[in-house]
Structure 1
Amino acid sequence: MTGVDLLAYADRLGGDLPRLREVLDGPLRDFAGVHILPFFVPFDGADAGFDPSDHAAVDPRLGTWDDVRAIAAEREVTADLIVNHVSSESAEFVDWLAHGEQSPHDGMFLTFDTVFPDGASESDITAFYRPRPGLSFTAYRMADGRRRLVWTTFMPSQVDLDVANDRARAYLRRILATLRAGGVTTVRLDAVGYAVKTPGTDSFMTPETLDFVREIVALAREEGLRVLVEVHAHYTQQLAIAPLVDYVYDFALAPLLLHSLGTGTSDRLAEWLRIRPQNAITVLDTHDGIGIIDAGPSGDRPGLIDQDEMAAIFARAAEATNGHSTIASVIPAWMSLPHQINATFFSALGADATSYLLARAVQLWLPGRPQLYYVGLLGGLDDVALFQRTGQGRDVNRHVYTPDELDAALGSDVTRAQLALVRLRSIHPAFRGEFGYGVESDGSLRLHWTLGDERAELTVSFGPAPAFRLHLTGTGGTVSADGVAALAAL
């Protein structure tokens, strides 16, 4: 998989889709693809677009489907298929509340009695995993006065679909067709791990979930779309789902790099390099924060790192952010730790540019398709003011850049160095060859690609003073850099 992708909101790099296209065609032209986070109606709802009232329409404040197609004319476009839920303000849900069994959308939404037709005990209800505090239901009042308990896995305004229902399936097929017509080439299955509720289990990434993934992948491929699955889970579940889809996220990489940078060791990261899926989208940070649960234990299954090592990562992030990451991060129901750090990756490293570029270089050197989040690319620090204004912890990592802020960031060494890595990964022939890695006697990690006489090598040392050096040779000459300033100057 060649090329590098950008992950960005349509409105946060200039205000709308036409401006996003200008940035992609200009200073970010080396990106081969872009994942545009939800641009549907409304793009600025309670969950920053992940609660669409109309999943098939581009929010007119951002542009039109023609603007999406214009972006897609020059690069691959990924968009979200929100499979778990719709907005409580969607036309379908509003119609169901008004007309009940007479609604053409009756059965589309998951109610308590759909899952528990014979009722449920306390243990039945509390068995379900939820990535938020509290229970997974919200009481809604029908027009005739009845109250119905509707599943709302994430927020009361995000109403879960009954994905086993034909009407919900027809809805998902309609959205897939709309995305393909809009120029989208890859769909990300958002929150698919929660989509199937199976009594007697925690209903997260169960065999029933994998069956549904197979079905929705088949529907997407009928439309000519590739599929990226988004699952924050034990690493064995990522390995299980990877063969079923085109792409799976490597969410374990970020916590393992934070562990290595915090401890000066590379053994846990090297073990992951041995077993990680090759069809991975590699990430450090995303709009959802920095996943930590992906490298940790789950039940009786050991993790790539243990519970104490997870806690140490959170503690180091809290120290680096003056305690702010602890305030912004949410502890899910029935858990003792958050499942992610709500902070920018740069902030979690105390704005240490060498450590940050070391981590980014490792990401860009691994097999798979690298994806850079716009805040991370621009060296963003926590937007505390936005978090305080909205009360949403993930907003610390969702800054809205003004044109002046964007220009300033593009001129910084941190961003220029990352753009140099993007260019090298995109154009150097070695990255189309064979990958290998090794751990040196001093504990440093060496990553290398070889294609004939073309070679790209990266050596990183995690401690006590983090350092990195890259060296590329071949028919185009030799390129070397051993620090942030040298890399930014390439």
Structure 2
Amino acid sequence: MKNQVQLITYVDRLGGGGLRDLRALLAGPFAPLAGLFGGVHLLPFFHKIDGADAGFDPIDHTRVDERLGDWGDVQALAQDVDVMADVIVNHMSSESPQFRDYVEHGDHSAYAGLFLTFDAVFPQGATERDLLTIYRPRPGMPFTTATLRDGQRKILWTTFTPQQIDIDVRHPGGQAYLGGILQTLADAKVSMVRLDAVGYAIKKPGHSCFMMPETFDFIGEFAAMAKARGIEVLVEIHAYHQRQIEIARAVDWVYDFALPPLVLHAFSFHTAEPLKRWIGIRPRNALTVLDTHDGIGIIDIGADSADRAGHPGLVPDAELDQLVERIHVNSRGHSRRATGAAASNLDLYQVNCTFYDALARDDQAYLLARAIQFFLPGVPQVYYVGLLAGENDMALLSRTGVGRDINRSHFDRDDIDVALTRPVVQRLLELIRLRNRHPAFNGSFELLASEADTLAMRWHAGDDEVRLVVNFRTLAHRLSGRTRGVAFEWRFDQASSPAGSVSA
């Protein structure tokens, strides 16, 4: 993976068109975002993109939604930037041909073993304790009852929604299904995949069914299949921070999901101490994010839900509760209307809000947060809404009732052109160029000694260096450095600076 900033986006929500329109934004002499990103994570673009979960319930994972283009368009985009795609390993749509065949033919279907039933996991039945041991990301039990054509009633495992039917990844049918997806992506020159919901992929009676040793084994096996096809693997897990560290030792790449709430905590409580403690122990093989297509993770810095007394979080429980409330206040109550029981598609561990609104639309704080993100070891990713300093989309939330839609706006080309004239967006683009081009970011990282309310970091490579200092109490800050012996200082309140033109 290139050590450059990446973009995360839906194909149809940035530019209002398909893959060719997105490519026109990212590459070419007249592309407004040309040369800005080393890679792009295309959120699910498979048939179809408008199911029960915004494409994360694919009907056909090996087919591009025809409204967006085809595999040739994916391959053309991969000529300009590295392309990452999702492999939804845990489930597929209840509308998929495979599941419909199973409903039609029952145990005689060629796909009978592909879908995970209650009996397959609990052949001897389950006790109350067995069921309560299952880790749940959402309220309720992970089961849905279905009636087959012959009248049989089956209890299906559905971790997320009734339309997302879990598959048995250990079954030969499941392995063939996932192997076919990987090959299709490799043929289209996709160089990296994100394993969506992989933490729930393995089920074992009497256990949590989440990130068990068997899950790590499966991830290793899948990663080997991907590596054989020249594809890197990113694992997407929201979990207790120590567990994230353990996961990172076993995989290519993980997300730093603790970073967004810790940055918000630093601004809210005027202290850098929890953030500095995390920087001291966090995985280096991480993709840093402040925002994604999901909400702002809370579980990632909280106490271990399995043993809160013995495994405290990165911040105290009381401060975590206050932080959630601060986000609600900063967003003028919008995030409260989109989070938890207030909206469907529940995620108990996330607050649904744009990061810009979580910081009360404070341009300076927002740019400082991005600078912190870009300074941490790893590869930064910027979500398309965050790229344009997008605000909470209350109209979309009202139309769909889906909480995460508050941060899944549609930007047509005119919207993008207008957003690119905003000073906060212009400065963010310059920060991205600085992160991509300054040679020090390919060198060594240091967390410098500083007061409790201050974060100080340094990158250096030979005579080249770049430093960032942020005081969370006063918002005093400095981003400075040296390139080929020439000193510079990057200003957060100017339209341009010498640092923005630093070349490798």
Pairwise TM-score range, normalised by the shorter structure: over 0.9
Asked whether 1:262 is paired with 2:268, we answer: yes
Provide the residue aligned with 1:184 in structure 2.
190
Asked whether 1:7 is paired with 2:12, we answer: no
Instruction: Pick from 263, 282, 293 the counterpart of residue 287 of structure 1.
Output: 293
1:366-400 residue CA offsets vs partner (Å, 9 max, x unmatched):
11000000000100010011011111100000000
Number of residue equivalences: 486
Instruction: Pick from 139, 155, 161 the counterpart of residue 167 of structure 2.
Output: 161
Asked whether 1:366 is paired with 2:373, we answer: no
Deviation at 1:338, TM superposition (A): 3.4
Provide the residue aligned with 1:410 in structure 2.
420
Q: Helix, strand or coil for the counterpart of 2:61?
A: strand
| One-letter identity of the residue aligned with 2:92 | V
Work out the CA distance in 2 between the residues paired with 1:241 and 1:411. 41
Provide the residue aligned with 1:122 in structure 2.
128
1:315-366 residue CA offsets vs partner (Å, 9 max, x unmatched):
001111222212211269xxx9931110000011110111111111000111
| One-letter identity of the residue aligned with 1:425 | R
Work out the CA distance in 1 between the residues paired with 2:291 and 2:349. 14
Work out the CA distance in 2 between the residues paired with 1:482 and 1:224. 41
Mean CA deviation greater in 267-276 or 21-30: 21-30
| One-letter identity of the residue aligned with 2:369 | A
Work out the CA distance in 2 between the residues paired with 1:436 and 1:96. 56
Structure 2 unaligned segments of length 5 or more: list them: none
Asked whether 1:375 is paired with 2:381, we answer: no
Work out the CA distance in 2 between the residues paired with 1:146 and 1:207. 34
Work out the CA distance in 2 between the residues paired with 1:27 and 1:371. 18
Asked whether 1:73 is paired with 2:83, we answer: no
1:239-262 residue CA offsets vs partner (Å, 9 max, x unmatched):
111122221101011111111111
Contact 2:284 2:378 survives alignment (8 Å): yes
Change (3 A) 1:484 1:149: farther
Deviation at 1:486, TM superposition (A): 5.3
Contact 2:92 2:165 survives alignment (8 Å): yes
Contact 2:77 2:83 survives alignment (8 Å): yes
Contact 1:259 1:313 survives alignment (8 Å): yes
Provide the residue aligned with 1:485 in structure 2.
494
Work out the CA distance in 1 between the residues paired with 2:497 and 2:147. 58
Change (3 A) 1:89 1:262: same
Alignment of 1:97-108 (within 5 A): 97-108=103-114
Work out the CA distance in 2 between the residues paired with 1:482 and 1:488. 7
Instruction: Pick from 37, 57, 62 the counterpart of residue 63 of structure 2.
Output: 57
Percent of aligned positions that are identical:
50
Provide the residue aligned with 1:397 in structure 2.
407
Deviation at 1:35, TM superposition (A): 0.2
Contact 1:355 1:467 survives alignment (8 Å): no
1:31-82 residue CA offsets vs partner (Å, 9 max, x unmatched):
0100000000001211111010000000110001111111100111000000
Instruction: Pick from 19, 22, 29 the counterpart of residue 20 of structure 1.
Output: 22
Work out the CA distance in 2 between the residues paired with 1:17 and 1:385. 26
Asked whether 1:215 is paired with 2:215, we answer: no
Change (3 A) 1:100 1:285: same
Work out the CA distance in 2 between the residues paired with 1:68 and 1:425. 26
Q: Helix, strand or coil for the counterpart of 2:3?
A: coil
| Root-mean-square deviation over aligned CA pairs | 1.7
Asked whether 1:473 is paired with 2:486, we answer: no
Asked whether 1:41 is paired with 2:41, we answer: no
If the length of structure 1 is used for normalisation, what is the TM-score? Answer: 0.96
If the length of structure 2 is used for normalisation, what is the TM-score? Answer: 0.94
Contact 2:272 2:452 survives alignment (8 Å): no
Contact 1:414 1:488 survives alignment (8 Å): no
Contact 2:427 2:492 survives alignment (8 Å): no
Deviation at 1:441, TM superposition (A): 3.1
Deviation at 1:485, TM superposition (A): 3.4
Q: Helix, strand or coil for the counterpart of 1:485?
A: coil
Asked whether 1:339 is paired with 2:340, we answer: no
Provide the residue aligned with 2:230 in structure 1.
224
Provide the residue aligned with 2:115 in structure 1.
109
Alignment of 1:238-317 (within 5 A): 238-298=244-304, 299-300=306-307, 301-317=311-327
Work out the CA distance in 2 between the residues paired with 1:341 and 1:55. 29
Mean CA deviation greater in 441-450 or 168-177: 441-450
| One-letter identity of the residue aligned with 1:24 | L
Change (3 A) 1:436 1:33: same
Structure 1 unaligned segments of length 5 or more: list them: none
